[in-house]
Structure formats: C-alpha cells, structure tokens
A and B are shown apart, each in its own frame.
Chain A
Amino acid sequence: MLRPHKNCHQKMRARQIDYREWHHLFRQIPEELVESTRYYRHLNDAEWSKYLFPPSTHAVYGNRLLRKLKFDNSLASLRLWGFAMSEGERLYRARQSGYRVIAEMGDLGAVTPLVHSFPDTISFYPDCLWWTPFLMESHVLFNEAAEFGLGEDCCFVRAAIGGYSKRAYFPKPDLNIGVTGATCDDMAAVMSEIALSGDEIHWFELPHRSEDNFQYSKKFLAGEHKKLCNKMEELTGVKFSESRFNDVVDKVNRLRSLIKECKELTAADGLNPIGGIEMMNVEFSALSYYADLDECLSVIEDFRDMLKARVNAKEGYTGQDIKIIWVTPAADPILINYLEELGGRIAGSEYVINQVTSRIRKDCSPFEALAEAQLQGSLMGSSAFRAQLVLDEIERTKADGAIISGIFGSSHCPFETSIIIKAVREKGLPVLAFDTAQPGKVKLQSQIYNRMQAFMESIRISRSRYAG
C-alpha cells in the first residue's frame, strides 16, 4: 500500500503553504509515487486514474479559491486534496468503466453502505456541490438554481439543482435517492425542483426521532432501507447479499473509526497538528467515500498516520493555540483559514453529518443496523440533541469557544443557531455566529473577518485575565 508520508519529503516541518509553493514542491515528489497514486486500482492503472496533483492543477481548471487558500504541506494532505478534488472526474470515469452511479440527497450518507454493497455501484452526494460556487468563486450554479425559483432565500445546497440542470458536473445518475420527512426544508425544496424537472427520485422517508418513539423510528427506518434495497435489486438485477454487505460495513466501520481517530488527534494538546480544511475533507469522506471506498480508506489511513506521527513528535503549526469548535460546515473554506490566521484552530466540529459517524452493528439485521446508525443523525430530531452534540465536542476537546457559520435565508441552520448559542453560553463559553457571505461579496467577508478578529481577541483577553 502507498505510504507517501514515509517519503523523504515528509521530513519538512509542519506548515501551511500556498498553492504556489505546492506547485514547486510537487516536483520533488518521486515520479513513481505520482504514477502509483491512483483510484479504481482494480482497473489496472487506467491512464486517467492518477490523482496526486497539486492545487495549481485544479486552479487552472477554474477552482479559483485554491489560489487563496493555505494547505498543509504533508504528502498525506496533498493526497487527500487530490483525492477529494478528483471526485467529479471520478464519477464520469466510473460511468465510462461500466459502474452504476447513484445520487444520494439530503441527510443520507447512512444509506451509502447499502448502495455500495451492490456490485459495480458507487454513489455521490449532489448536496456537496454547495462548495463548488465557493471553490470556483462563481455564481454559475446559483444563477442556474435561480432559474428554478431558488434564490438567495435558499441554502447554498441549491447549487445541486444547478448541477442537475447543467448536466456537466456529474453523469446522469442511474438512481436518485432523496429524503423526505424529518429533513431540512431547503434541501427538500431543492429535491422537489429536481423531481419536478423530470429526474425520477426514489423517496426515502426519515421519521422524526424522539426518545419516546425510538423503537418505532428504528423499525420504520429499517423498512425504508428494505424498500431501498428492493429498488437497488430491481435496478442492478442482483440480489442483495448479506456477505457483500458485511464486507462493505467492515470497511465503512474502519473508515469511521479512522475519522474518529483523526478528530481525536486534531484535538490533542500542544501544537495544532493539521489545518481545519484538511480535516473537513476527512470528515466528509464518510458520506460517500469520494466514490471509491478502498482508495478512500487508504487515503485516510495515510492521513491518520501522518497526524499521529506529528502529535507524537509534538509537531504542528505555531501560533494557532485557541481551540474552536466549528458548527455547520463552512461553505467557504477560506473562513477556516481566517480563523487559523487569527491564531485559532479547529479542535472539533458539528458538521450536521452525525448520521455517518457511529459504528454500524453486525449482530442484527442489516436494515436495523443501518437504521440505528442513521438515528444518530444531527438533524432528524430536536435542536436540543444537536446542541448537545456541540457541547459534547466542547467537552471532548476542551475548546475555548465555538463558531457557527450559518447560511442566510436557509431554514434549518438559523433556527438552530440561537438554541446552540444559548447552550454554549450557558456553559460559559463565547460563541460567534455569522452568515457565510456569497462568493465574491468581499465587503461582507471582510466584516466576517473583523468579527472573527474581535472574537479571537476577546478570548485571548479573557484567557490572560484568567491567567492573571
């Protein structure tokens, strides 16, 4: 297995560097390593399957934000970036290689193990297109969504409908799975528009979770998984196989525990061992494994090893000593760099994907096991549940404060923001909440930066008072 972090290049001090420096450093990476870092390895080194490339490669193809971001300087991180950034092309290559491509929308990462247990089938998450307008610093997908009546009063996930309409971001899915029921209104609106525009959706109903009806919810959810399984059998013409499913679950559980380990290492005392954007890439691999579970495991394992080595060696970035919990993923990754620039580090997170964090049981029926894991979802129950997830993260990481990056106009996050703020303040910790500015809104963004600066200063002052 590839172990890029064991390369001589790794002897460099842990640092955050820009795309220009990566472009030049990249030349020092041995050719064999670039050649052997591939996805879909079973396709015998398909010419297009390499992915260990620097951010400048992706910048040339329009991902303009990469020219402004700071990246970790390890090979393991470069590999992670290359793997995540190549997902779009990978979906097309999967289709060209005869794979079925399944779209999972809404709070669904929980169904991915089931989908991947069918042969030659991969899945992806159209919702994740919400990062595209920010990475490209572009309004193309938002303008497209506006053609369907979804404007600034809808969450950034509206970019997903732009992807469906433009037909240039992923191949036509063999199956679209969408959630209904206890899900967010914004995503529900996006999915309805997709359905109305003619893309058939298999609806998967999420029950509302409450302590009183947990068993009922579980049974109901298990039934939804069974229905989806039937649909997959119909689509693929292949019977569901428990042994194939168990193989996938073993891998998924391994991935989830690797991610958990990475999160623990990130919160370790001492220097900040890694950038928050890299960690966000790691956490989101749990949704659909960037469309290649085996390679994803290898990428995250390398990343974990690199992190472990840094933490053991007490290595990390200097000057980032204020531990922050980030709540709701940052649609604009540069916000995370801002925090780091101001001396903060993301020690923990609540990225509304708790449904893909817990281990999937193997001692009960597959559908029940999936249902049980899914019922840990961040968004399918009370806001108090999610607020508690944030408090748990604070406790686990001994954080100094929390930042909530909301989305103007969206239905879910604003409602929960005030509840989370209250819960965190009751614990005596400061919270900063703001709405993420749309791409290109430079003035709004500078305001966010100023607010972050004041927030970080106030934490420092209260720290020094306390110390005094």
Chain B
Amino acid sequence: MPGEMNPRERWGLLLIDEIPDRPPVYPLVTSHAAAAYGCDLIQYCTDGEVLAEAQLYAQRLYQHEGLSVFTDVGIIAEAMGSKYHLREYEVPILDSPIIQNPEAVEDLRIPDPVQDGRLPVYLEAIDKLYTAAGDILPVFAFIPCPFTTSAGLRGTEEFLISTALAPENAHKLLEISLQAAVKFCDECILAGALPVLVDPLASGSVISRSTFSQFASPYTRRLIEHLHRYDLDIMLHICGDTSGMLDLIPATGADLFSMDKADISSAIAICGDKIRLAGNLPPHGLLEVSRIDMAQKAEEAVEKGITNPKGFVLSTGCEAPIKASPEKLHKIIEIGRKSHYDFKW
C-alpha cells in the first residue's frame, strides 16, 4: 500500500524516539520457523542456510517484522567446549559442561566465531538473511549474556552455587564469557545483525535480586557498553518472571527490554520513561490446546503498551513454541498490525 512503512523504517523511527505509524509486531518466531518451513531442529541448528531459509519462509508466512537468528542459549558455551544434545523436535540441551572443577576455568579459551562450534551457523544465516532482505527487515542475532553462558560452561546448578560459595570463581567465568560474547557480537554485527541479548537464567524465576545485581547485570552492562560504543540499540530479553526486578533493568543500559511475565502497565510505570518495552504475550497460549484467548491478550498488550513513552513492540514473552498454532500466530500478528499510534506527519 503506498505510504505504508516497512519494518526497517518502523523500527528505525522507534529507535530514534520517534513515533512510527504503529508498534512493530515481532513475536519471537525462532525454532517455530523450522516447523513452519518443514525441517527438523537438528538441521535448523546446524546449517546456516537452512536456518535462513526457514526464517525467510516463516516471515513470508506470518509477516512479522524482524528476522531472528537464534538456535539455543548454549551456542557460546558449546563453542567453548561444553557438550549439547541436539534433538530433532526440541531445542538443544546441555549434556555435559566443559568445566568439571573450578580450576578448569583457567583453561578456557575464547572461541573463534568463524570456526568454533555452531557459531559459524549463525554467521552464515545472518549473512544470507541480510543479503536477502536486510533493506526491509532488521536481522536480530540472539546472543546469550555472560550469566547464561557461564551456566552452560559450569552447569546451571554448580554455577549458581558458585555465585554464593565461590564468587571469585564465578566472576572469572563471567569475565571470559563476556569476552566470548563480545567477540561473537562483533562478528554478528559484521555479518549484518543487531545483537539481542538473552539471559534466561537471570530471570527472577531463577535468581534473586541481589544475585542479579552482583553477577548478571554488571556483565550484561559491560557487554551493552561495548555495543553502545558502536551506537547500537540493544534489546535485552529475559524470560520468566521479572516483575520484581523491573527497576533494575535500566541499569543494564539496554535500550529495549523484552519481557515475559510482568505486567506491562507496571513496567511502564517503573521504567517506561527510560526504556522501550517489548512483550509479552504468553507463548504457551499459542499452542493449539491452550484455552488462553490470545486475541484478547494481544489487544490488551497493545492497549497498554502503546502508552509507553519510550515506545513499544508487540511480541511474545519468550519464543513461540515449536508447535505453535499458525492460526493463533496469524491472529496476534493481525491484531498488532491493525494497531496504530496517533501518528501525524
């Protein structure tokens, strides 16, 4: 339609504090893209070309407003030596962490994104997506934050225990995870993607406010500082319940906060003047079997989110499930696309 903004233009305005015609609609269509495209997750997670094709296919199908390069939160830990179990119909899970005893931290090496683990899969996918549609659609590369990568290197339980019993060791691990993330982010940027930082383990569902402030947030902030030096606008995604730590989010330096279980109005009241918000439709509501009225949820989210002074992105609180119902996804996207700001040019 003449005069209609494309996603790149819409996001562009949002990121310079301008009001676009409407909020971008960007549910996290990640591994669900594999299901939509018809490949299994082992192919999706190990072949950049397949990942890119699946993303393009899903975007053409749903018309959501961004391409997402994301396989799993262990991508960096795996490239540093942890073993992940790849599964055909589930996302990869940690099999055996590389660090079996605290001293082993010293032996860790920062991975080379061009050749280690599945990091090259990301780079190939980003390059293909950027080349195919980067003028119209932003390409987002989901990068695990140091806190989450550290858990993948040490094992979640051991790492969380170390934050209490051996904090020095935890910090060492976080430091090298940070350096690895910086290097990987740089390559993703050079391939054409804007990093989105994901920190599922830093959720209020898993850790306390104080652990967040001492161990998660400082490293995320340093990663964001590195990216800010390049003037990049960074979205931080934390899944789970973040309602008790909303006031701590702006201190990470993130420009957008993609939230899961927290009330949008509360988030706006607490940090809406400092940060753009993205969220937060319940992903499990997209399952066929769910009784949640997703259309109503989407309408409510838009109604609240649109009042955020720093801007809003209609999204899911976490990844759309692999087996999400296409009809339900279509519906929430359609509702988002009908929303509008009081945009006067």
Q: Which of A56-64, A209-217, A333-341, A393-401 contacts B (4 or more CB under 8 A)?
A: A56-64
Binding site for A on B (CB under 8 A): 2-6, 8-10, 12-13, 16-18, 20-21, 130-131, 134-136, 138, 186, 189-190, 192-194, 229-232, 343, 345
Smallest Cβ distance from B285 to chain A, in angstroms?
A: 32
The complex places the Cα of A53 from the Cα of B189 at a distance, in Å, of 13
Contact status A168-B232, CB under 8 Å:
no
Smallest Cβ distance from B297 to chain A, in angstroms?
A: 29
The complex places the Cα of A96 from the Cα of B17 at a distance, in Å, of 9
Contact status B345-A60, CB under 8 Å:
no
The complex places the Cα of A89 from the Cα of B13 at a distance, in Å, of 9
The complex places the Cα of A64 from the Cα of B126 at a distance, in Å, of 13
Contact status A168-B230, CB under 8 Å:
no
Contact status A64-B192, CB under 8 Å:
yes
Binding site for B on A (CB under 8 A): 19-20, 23-24, 26-27, 31, 34, 48, 50, 53-54, 56-57, 59-62, 64, 67, 89, 92-93, 96, 136-138, 140, 144, 147-148, 165-169, 171-172
Output the nearest chain B residue to A440 by Cβ-Cβ distance: B135
Smallest Cβ distance from B305 to chain A, in angstroms?
A: 20
Contact status A57-B232, CB under 8 Å:
yes
Please tell me which one of the listed residues B2, B186, B192, B194 contacts residue A23 in the complex, with CB atoms under 8 A apart.
Answer: B186
Contact status A168-B5, CB under 8 Å:
yes
With a cutoff of 8 Å between Cβ atoms, the chain A residues found around residue B134 in the complex are 62, 64
With a cutoff of 8 Å between Cβ atoms, the chain B residues found around residue A137 in the complex are 135
**Taking A23-B186, A62-B134, A168-B10 as contacts, is the C-beta distance between A144 and B194 under 8 angstroms?**
no
Contact status B20-A168, CB under 8 Å:
yes
Contact status A54-B230, CB under 8 Å:
yes
Could you show 12 A-B contacts with beta carbons less than 8 Å apart?
A23-B230, A24-B186, A48-B16, A48-B17, A57-B232, A89-B16, A140-B135, A148-B2, A166-B5, A167-B3, A167-B5, A171-B18
Which of B4, B193, B231, B343: most chain A CB closer than 10 A? B231
Please tell me which one of the listed residues B3, B138, B190, B193 contacts residue A20 in the complex, with CB atoms under 8 A apart.
Answer: B190
Smallest Cβ distance from A193 to chain B, in angstroms?
A: 11
With a cutoff of 8 Å between Cβ atoms, the chain A residues found around residue B189 in the complex are 23, 56, 60
Contact status B2-A144, CB under 8 Å:
yes
Contact status A140-B230, CB under 8 Å:
no
Smallest Cβ distance from B15 to chain A, in angstroms?
A: 8
With a cutoff of 8 Å between Cβ atoms, the chain B residues found around residue A140 in the complex are 6, 135-136
With a cutoff of 8 Å between Cβ atoms, the chain A residues found around residue B16 in the complex are 48, 89, 92-93
Output the nearest chain B residue to A173 by Cβ-Cβ distance: B345
Which of B9, B131, B138, B190: most chain A CB closer than 10 A? B190
Contact status A26-B230, CB under 8 Å:
yes
Smallest Cβ distance from B229 to chain A, in angstroms?
A: 7
With a cutoff of 8 Å between Cβ atoms, the chain A residues found around residue B17 in the complex are 48, 92, 96
With a cutoff of 8 Å between Cβ atoms, the chain A residues found around residue B232 in the complex are 57, 60
The complex places the Cα of A168 from the Cα of B4 at a distance, in Å, of 10
With a cutoff of 8 Å between Cβ atoms, the chain A residues found around residue B130 in the complex are 64
Please tell me which one of the listed residues A20, A53, A138 contacts residue B231 in the complex, with CB atoms under 8 A apart.
Answer: A53
**Taking A20-B190, A57-B232, A64-B130 as contacts, is the C-beta distance between A165 and B3 under 8 angstroms?**
yes
With a cutoff of 8 Å between Cβ atoms, the chain B residues found around residue A138 in the complex are 135-136
With a cutoff of 8 Å between Cβ atoms, the chain B residues found around residue A27 in the complex are 229
With a cutoff of 8 Å between Cβ atoms, the chain A residues found around residue B229 in the complex are 26-27, 31, 34
Please tell me which one of the listed residues B4, B20, B21, B135 contacts residue A62 in the complex, with CB atoms under 8 A apart.
Answer: B135
